[in-house]
Copies of this chain bind each other. A is one copy, B any other.
Amino acid sequence: MVKITDVARHAGVSPSTVSYALSGKRPISQMTRQRIESSIRELGYRPHAGARALASSRSNVLALVVPLRAGIHVPVVMQFAVSVVTTARGHDHDVLLLTQEEGEEGLRRVADTALVDALIVMDVQLRDPRLPLLRSLDRPSVMIGFPQEPDGLTCIDLDFRAAGELCVERLARLGHRVMALVGSPPEVYVRETAFAQRVVQGFTAAADRNGMSSCVRPCEAAPGAARRVAERLLSEQPALTGVVVHNEAVLEPLIEAFEQLGLRVPGDLSVIAICPDELAESLRVPVTSVALPSAELGARAVELLTKKLDGTAVPEATLLPPRLTDRASTAPRNAS
């Protein structure tokens, strides 16, 4: 194994000079820098990660905790993870993958052993048991999602409340007066996942504000669930002309169900989803949607974290504004 002393000898300088040339933490003359660089190349030198971590108390590794639970759309998690890895690499960091399953002990372990410098935690609940722990750790963290008490923590997420409102506003502008929100599976609400509740709040508030009739229905991801929800909605709200869907798994089946029940999309029924753009674009009827920007969230989370590692102050809360793209599933309300 080639070590820093080998490089130093080969370049005719001291080890510390090589170290500084590598880190840029002190000025190096043009000439020595070049000699060092060519020695490194010639010898194929790679600094030992463990030795570095020990001497500098920086591992240059971030922990990413991914959720596993029901009702979470897997491609969103994956895209987020990939974006975190890519962005982290751009900041000279690697990413250690942890599962929710490991729980608080897992977080404590990687932090206390100095395996990682900082943590990104996905799928934060309103009263997440990990919050006190994260506050007490000596390493910075960023949470995806907003808990009830975000004080002292750094959180980022799509502004789901505004997303819910934006959907309603768009439907309102198209003349729709009676609308429904088809949401996540019931268990998501039961475990108090903030983002699901925020959509409901935004949806309901905007509907009330616009004097519209509205209702909210959670929906399972199971095969027949979309159909049943569609049937119930139509029987309970015969005048329904606008539907907001916040549930990736049932978006397609739900539209199919409405059409099988005799409603044309968007002729009789306008549909807006809150989901990844890729999903909205891929359906037979491309769906007007508010994007779930997982890649951007991942990138931003890493940037917040690297700033915190650099000692730069960052805002406690970052809410990404919703962005709506019109596609083929929305139309003005039929005058008939």
Chain A residues near B (Cβ < 8 Å) = 44, 46-54, 59, 61, 64, 66, 68, 74-75, 77-78, 81-82, 85-86, 89, 94-99, 101-102, 106, 109-110, 112-115, 221-224, 282-284
Question: What are 14 A-B interface contacts by the 8 Å CB criterion?
Answer: A50-B52, A50-B53, A50-B59, A51-B54, A53-B53, A61-B115, A64-B97, A85-B98, A85-B99, A94-B110, A94-B115, A95-B96, A95-B97, A222-B282
* Whole-angstrom CA separation of A98 from B47 in the bound complex: 19
Q: Report the 4 A-B pairs with minimum CB-CB distance, sorted nearest first.
A: A50-B53, A46-B112, A50-B54, A49-B115
**Which residues of chain B have C-beta atoms less than 8 A from A61's C-beta?**
96, 115
CB-CB under 8 A from A49, the residues of chain B are 50, 53, 59, 113-115
Complex Cα–Cα for A98 and B61 (A): 12
Chain B residues in 8 Å Cβ range of A94 = 96, 98, 110, 115
A49 to B114, CA, bound (A): 6
Q: How far is the CB of A48 from chain B (nearest CB, A)?
A: 5
Cβ-defined contact, B46 with A113, below 8 A: yes
Residues of B within 8 A of A97 (CB): 64, 81, 85, 95-97
Could you tell me the distance in whole angstroms from the C-beta of A282 to the nearest C-beta in chain B? 6
Contact of A282 among B51, B66, B89, B223 (CB under 8 A): B223
| A115 closest partner in B (C-beta) | B49
Q: Judging by beta carbons under 8 Å apart, are A48 and B114 in contact?
A: yes
Contact of A101 among B74, B78, B86, B283 (CB under 8 A): B86
With a cutoff of 8 Å between Cβ atoms, the chain B residues found around residue A50 in the complex are 49-54, 59, 114
B residues less than 8 Å from A102 (CB atoms): 89
Distance, CA A114 to CA B94, complexed state (A): 13
Q: How far is the CA of A66 from the CA of B99 in the complex (A)?
A: 16
Which residues does chain B contribute within 8 Å of A99, judged by CB atoms? 82, 85-86
Q: Max chain B CB contacts within 10 Å: which of A52, A85, A94, A113?
A: A94
B-chain residues with CB within 8 Å of residue A77 when the two chains form the complex: 78
Q: Across the interface, which residues of B come within 8 angstroms of A53, CB to CB?
A: 49-50, 53
**Are A109 and B46 touching (Cβ within 8 A)?**
yes
> Which of A75, A109, A113, A222 is the most central at the interface, judged by chain B CB atoms within 10 Å of its CB?
A113
Q: Write the nearest CB–CB distance from A93 to chain B, whole angstroms.
A: 11
Residues of B near A221 (CB, < 8 A) are 282
* CB pair A68 B82 closer than 8 Å: yes
- The interface residues of chain B lying within 8 Å CB-to-CB of A51 are 50, 54
A54 touches B48 (CB 8 A): yes
Chain B residues contacting A82 (CB-CB under 8 Å) are 66, 68, 99
CA of A59 to CA of B116, assembled, Å: 12
With contacts A94-B115, A97-B95 taken as known, whether A283 is within 8 angstroms of B223 at the C-beta atoms is yes
CA of A206 to CA of B82, assembled, Å = 39
Q: Which of chain B's residues have a CB closer than 8 A to the CB of A66?
A: 82
Given A50-B52, A68-B82, 7 further pairs, Cβ under 8 A: A46-B112, A49-B114, A66-B82, A74-B75, A81-B97, A94-B110, A223-B282
